[in-house]
Structure 1
């Protein structure tokens, strides 16, 4: 990759385009920073996950020195780690680089993290998709790293941003027909995989709640699912639940091709339906009908819940999602987490009970509302994120 990047810059300049002055790179793409420096290009780095996650990564040498980790990144002691007051507690067995897949891949991920830590020193500025009030403890540890979030794409773009699959615009009309604060919104992002048994437990748990639910089920979410069972389940919940193959929680939009809805339907979840140009650009999580969000706790999803004041039922899958869960349950106290049984499966009774608790506890929504207001203040004019973003833009303009 470094060679290709260097060639790309050369081709751009050979074609008469202006000289590249800045490279803005994801911290996880740290290999690009030495290339930029070699070419006389200034570097700014962007961290897309929580500041707490980056802080733990940057503190790896200290954690080794303190005997918490060995030099391969594995925990020496089984304990709960908290780097500073106000930061989320995390058990040493749940560090992001040790939970990114099969154990045999851990050395590669850990080496990548350590190398990226060194490459970050080449950046003149580091910005992150977070805000001061959400992660005050982490930013106190690293005051030179600037929060510029929560970042989001609004209706001005008139198109979905970062979606992997076509979206089902029926979601919004379906939500419009539901009562305020009644719907359980369930989405596990673009990578989580459930085995058939866990899928069925979740499905039956949602059914047991007796509440309306909107559930995003990607085509590849559950390989090997019993289609006869699925069809029977769909018939039972037809009047209550809506299952779609993809629905951006950022926004819902009219399709641009012949005003028809195009979806991927390997499980025959959906029927194509007409949509109208009057469909508004609105966020699913901002809809008045949504009562709680059952989420894998990816950072973008977590911030979208924060920005819209929605309580969360946390169901982390891998990497930094366990840390994000800890923010929700232990620091912000805007939701709860599911507890798997001894067999590792989250039972349907657990799903029903936790959904009822999240929706039934007014304290979760009250604290979520406070965090929503804090986020809005940060990105508003004269807010801390607004000022940091302005500083960032001014630097890139030099």
Structure 2
């Protein structure tokens, strides 16, 4: 896999030059990245660090669990770590695995690095609070203007234990409009000892005025084999476990790592595979019950429902593959018998129509259409399979 396969980089060097560090500062190469599968991003950042041409603000985009937050933390480690001198007095590189600054940053106890998301506590009159201002919804929904104001106050002071203050807005697309406006001033008047990093699924979810003032790094899905090797070599997975998780990850290493450490994630995925088969073989009442329950869930956890729709697409892709008896490339490798049984009862145009129906539902839900109605239409559009023809469900 080439570097271009995993990352797309918008350098905007002309716009960024005035906000970059002096090119006279030469630093050793960076090694010890926790980020993997995105060599284009890590190579670019290492070169920028070596030549002293880091931008003052970055926007990292890509799907959930692709590695955005990991890369942002690596960047915070990079700008605050110094080279270790070897026995000959040379400093060949900056190793993020051995740096004391990096160790503190990764533990979340470094005074100059803060990760800001909707759950970040605020200090108002020296008291932690999770309240709201001017009717803004807080908690797990948005990044408030209060978060941005707190960042502005903190950025006005010099770094205490590192070289730079780093503010990581994880999920910057969830900033309320007032927060984005307040944030813009900081981007327009950057400080030399402050680095700002934003993460978001894609740049279109942020105001163009914010995006244009950041250097964008787009992370793309990582090849299955790269994830598999990393799970074995770095996380101690066995061959079979790594093979299964790397396929199910859909190019997102973070999902595979979390699923390896938390068996309930894989259990939930397997339950979804069974649930989809039960819906396809179920009656209208059962389908509408699913639509109602999932529609209600949408208001509590929108991202979980969107992820459910992605799993539906993945499931139908596997059904299409099994219709052509290509079980070696399915994602859900543990369910080839069930998928083959479903595929054997459907025509190719029915499978294609099902994929189209799920895609349409996903687009509608992303646009905040009425969830229960959208899902009821989907349930009516999906084909029916006689449960007698799917013996794997009975087992």
| TM-score range relative to shorter protein | under 0.3
State which structure, 1 or 2, has the greater radius of gyration over its C-alpha atoms.
2
TM-score (norm 2): 0.27
TM-score (norm 1): 0.27
